[in-house]
Homo-oligomer: A and B are copies of this chain.
Amino acid sequence: MTTIETTRRTPRFADAQIEMAHGAGGTASRRLVEGLIGPYFSNPALQAFSDAAVLSIEGTRLATTADGFVVKPLRFPGGSIGELAVNGTLNDLAVSAAKPVALMATLILEAGLATSTLESEIEAMAIAARKAGIPIVGGDTKVVEHGMADGMYVSTFGIGVSDPRAMLDPASIRPGDRVLLSGPIGAHGITILLARGELDFQADLVSDTRCVWPFVEALLSQCGPGLRWMRDPTRGGVATALNELVRGGEYGIALSEEHVPMHDAVRGACELLGLDPLHIANEGQFLAVVAPSYADAALAAVRSVEGGERAVFIGDVRAEPKRRVIGINGYGGTRVIDMLVGDPLPRIC
């Protein structure tokens, strides 16, 4: 564990060139964003480093989010780059407690891309957007020479209206708060890994990619005032999301590892590959920190929505050790759970 995870000090970015790990969402990404990009773009909205920026425009609190998608392969069991781009962006708004209003999308296409491939992704975006009831109101298309991209990349932009029923603020988190997880972890990352066909085993697994707004809406309706913080644990997984939370606070989180749900295939693949499932990306799950008095209502709210049946509390907020995520196993043993270091699974979103 380095000072990056345990203090608020801004790390310097001293790497001479960009490596894959700088895009993986873990410590290297954080060093790039905080050490190189952040100082240039310094402003209050960016300092929050959350998944969406909140702007107050003429009295309306808007959330905006920008996401890039470079997932490889473009299509995988359970989803594709277009569907992921739409749902990933909707999810960033949702976990900011903002009701999505509109999306935009920019495509960077490689010359030679089959029109049928492009059309499949346009259709996937349209279906995902229609399912969520959110219009795609514009965008841009650029083409680069063959060999200057990998089929297609998608950048999306989402805008939403902050829901007044919740005032998410990590500073409001207190020891005793509960950590809710919406469902089984790791399905997306392991599905992508298997879809590349580089491993010698197969599994009956599909990505968990979906829009989490229906769950968030249920939470806002049933226990809005009890919601302290939400996050979708994508790149870097649950471990990274929770570490990013605690590093800014005067508290820690204790995870009951045996309660973290995951498919057997995810568990098996992680054991085989030496990966920690808590570091594997998810695309249809979210974490919420909930005040204890709202805990039962929160769990019931998520479980009441189709697909939320496996929601569960996986841990709680503790006064000590501060700024650490601790895992507790079934026998009471503990370990420190760090942010993702390096990039075991490049281009998973």
Residues of chain A at the chain B interface (Cβ within 8 Å): 13, 15-24, 29, 32-33, 36-37, 40-41, 43, 45-46, 52-53, 55, 57-60, 62, 64-70, 101-102, 104-115, 118-119, 122-123, 125-126, 129, 135-145, 147-150, 153, 155, 157, 159, 161, 346-347
Which chain B residue has the least Cβ–Cβ distance from A142?
Answer: B68
Please determine whether A143 and B20 come into contact, CB atoms closer than 8 angstroms: yes
Which chain B residue has the least Cβ–Cβ distance from A51?
Answer: B138
Main secondary structure of the interface of A (DSSP, over half): mixed
Which chain B residue has the least Cβ–Cβ distance from A158?
Answer: B157
Q: Which of B43, B112, B145, B161 contacts A137 (CB 8 A)?
A: B43
Please determine whether A109 and B43 come into contact, CB atoms closer than 8 angstroms: no
Which chain B residue has the least Cβ–Cβ distance from A104?
Answer: B66
Q: Name, among A17, A29, A36, A145, the residue most crowded by chain B CB atoms within 10 Å (CB to CB).
A: A17
**A53 shortest CB reach to chain B, Å:** 4
Please determine whether B138 and A22 come into contact, CB atoms closer than 8 angstroms: no
Please determine whether A18 and B105 come into contact, CB atoms closer than 8 angstroms: no
Please determine whether A122 and B36 come into contact, CB atoms closer than 8 angstroms: yes
Please determine whether B60 and A57 come into contact, CB atoms closer than 8 angstroms: yes
Pick 17 A–B contacts, CB within 8 A, sort by A.
Answer: A13-B115, A17-B114, A19-B112, A23-B142, A32-B141, A36-B118, A40-B123, A45-B138, A53-B137, A57-B159, A58-B60, A64-B157, A65-B104, A68-B140, A70-B144, A108-B108, A144-B150
